[in-house]
Amino acid sequence: QVQLQQWGAGLLKPSETLSLTCAVYDDSLLGYYWTWIRQPPEKGLEWVGEINDGGRTNYNPSLKSRVTISVDTSKKQFSLKLNSVTAADTAVYFCAREANGAFEIWGQGTMVTVSP
């Protein structure tokens, strides 16, 4: 069964760069879009962006100027970088596999806190 395992720094200072990675186990990266979604504390889900195995990306317009999503097919990993973070970027970040217009498999989530 496909599993996503994610990791990255959980505590950042304002203006630093958030960096998270998600590894895909027991399946290939090929043929899917791979997505990042975040959830601020006590708030709803927000789609951050996606990438396919060919490196094609789509980003949330509200984050587009600060976000980069990349993929390493040889390692079966994809990554999120969000620069110039502020307290508003404090959230649980999830990676997910997208298929048929839905997010069918999710990572366990990583809490990222931005604090001076």
Positions that interact with other proteins (CB under 8 A): 35, 37, 44-47, 50, 58-62, 94, 100-109
Residue whose pair of structure tokens reads 């504390």 in the numeric block: 41
Q: How far is the CB of 45 from other proteins (least distance, A)?
A: 4
88 burial type by CB count under 10 A (0-12 exposed, 13-18 middle, 19+ buried): exposed
Vertex 24: Cα angle to 95 and 51 (nearest 5): 55
Residue whose pair of structure tokens reads 């997010």 in the numeric block: 103
Q: How far is the CB of 44 from other proteins (least distance, A)?
A: 4
Instruction: Indicate the residue among 14 and 104 with the shorter CB distance to other proteins.
Output: 104
Q: How far is the CB of 21 from other proteins (least distance, A)?
A: 17
Kindly compute the dihedral angle of the four CA atoms of residues 107, 89, 62, 47, in this order, to the nearest 10 degrees.
Answer: 20
Instruction: Indicate the residue among 46 and 116 with the shorter CB distance to other proteins.
Output: 46
Instruction: Indicate the residue among 16 and 60 with the shorter CB distance to other proteins.
Output: 60
95 burial type by CB count under 10 A (0-12 exposed, 13-18 middle, 19+ buried): buried
Instruction: Indicate the residue among 42 and 115 with the shorter CB distance to other proteins.
Output: 42
Q: How far is the CB of 74 from other proteins (least distance, A)?
A: 26
